[in-house]
Amino acid sequence: MEKKAELYRGKAKSVYTTDDADRLILQFRNDTSAFDGEKIEQLDRKGMVNNKFNHFIMTKLEEAGIATQMDRLIADDEALVKKLDMIPVECVVRNVAAGSICRRLGVKEGMDLSPPTFEFFLKNDQLHDPMINEYHIQSFGWATAEQVTAMKEQTFKVNDVLKKLFDDAGLILVDYKLEFGVFNGEIILGDEFTPDGCRLWDKETRDKLDKDRFRQGLGGVVEAYEAVAARLGLNLD
């Protein structure tokens, strides 16, 4: 598979076209950012860790019957993926209160949420990813009602699979965001699932093992990601 032009460069990933019109190369870089790109650093090994972590999680989801854009790893920091028509909406599930929901609603961090909450956000850094609802999504043509339903259903299926996976590893899946796209008319899980886009806490100590370590200046970001991978049985060598 031949890598061609850079199609998109995000805060921590780059997407390249290939000689197959239906396939892209997803490259995870060592760049690490927070607060809509206001805080940026380079962290050694991060691209490799997130690439292999994402492949591991997407494989687990595929095994559970959830369609993803993942094809295969092709390098330490690169994966071959299906080319999706991405929907500019983030689907967020929260099992435990943390982050913006605490600021918005005045709830205490660490509060268990039963049932889990579901929120939509518009993927737009310039607008700081504002919260939206199903009416916005349909009125502005970002997705159809059927696609919205499919995204919600798949997001909760992901929750069922990954809550158990992380719980078995002694971890709490606090919250996460997912992005979806369309491939051959089907809603497919795209983008990534890594500690960059979710919150993971140690079940006993509630130590943070995700990108909050970077946001809050706690240090040991990549080491925390590697510790999560080791608990899941993921070999990063």
Report the CATH number at residue 24: 3.30.200.20
The reply to whether 89 and 14 lie within a common domain is no
Quote the strand ranges of the chain, DSSP E.
3-9, 13-18, 23-28, 31-34, 39-42, 70-75, 78-82, 85-96, 112-122, 131-132, 171-183, 186-190, 198-202
- Nearest Cα neighbor of 155 from 127, 124, 197 is 197
Show the tokens assigned to 230. 């080791």
* Contacts (Cβ under 8 Å, ≥6 apart) of 18: 1, 2, 3, 4, 24, 25, 80
Q: Are residues 103 and 70 in the same domain?
A: no
- Chosen domain end from 32, 53, 82: 82
Note down pLDDT in tens along the chain; length 237 residues: 799 999 999 999 999 999 999 999 999 999 988 776 677 899 999 999 999 999 999 999 999 999 999 999 999 999 999 999 999 999 999 999 999 999 999 999 999 999 999 999 999 989 999 999 999 999 999 999 999 999 999 999 999 999 999 999 999 999 999 999 999 999 999 999 999 999 999 999 999 999 999 999 999 999 999 999 999 999 998
Asked whether 32 and 43 are in contact (CB, 8 A), the reply is yes
Does residue 171 form part of some domain? yes
**Which residues are CB-neighbours of 188 under 8 A, at least 6 positions away?**
67, 68, 69, 82, 84, 180, 181, 182
Within 10 A of 119 (CB to CB), how many other CB atoms are there? 17
Into how many domains does the chain fold? 2
Query: Amino acid identity of 153?
Result: E
128 plus 179 within the same structural domain: yes
Q: Please state, in angstroms and as integers, the Cα–Cα distance from residue 214 to each residue in 32, 42, 153, 224, following that order.
A: 8, 11, 31, 11
Cα–Cα distances in angstroms (integers) from residue 223 to residues 42, 157, 206, 228, in the given order: 14, 29, 16, 9
Residues 90 and 197 in one domain: yes
**Domain shared by 74 and 143, yes or no:** no
Q: Verify that 135 and 203 share a domain, yes or no.
A: yes
Q: Does residue 133 sit in the same domain as residue 144?
A: yes
* Helical ranges in the chain per DSSP H: 46-63, 100-105, 134-139, 145-168, 212-215, 221-232
Within-domain flag for 170: yes
Q: Do 59 and 99 belong together in one domain? A: no
Domain-ending residue, one of 82, 116, 131: 82
Q: Are residues 116 and 48 in the same domain?
A: no
Residue 157 belongs to some domain of the structure: yes
Same domain, yes or no: 153 and 185? yes
Single out the residue in 32, 65, 82 at which a domain terminates: 82
Among residues 75, 36, 50, 65, the alpha carbon closest in space to that of 191 is found at: 50
Domain with 39, as residue range(s), is: 3-82
One domain, residues 100 and 142? yes
Residue 231 lies in a domain: no
**228 within a domain of the structure (yes/no):** no
Task: Tell whether 189 is covered by a domain.
Answer: yes
Residues 126 and 71 in one domain: no
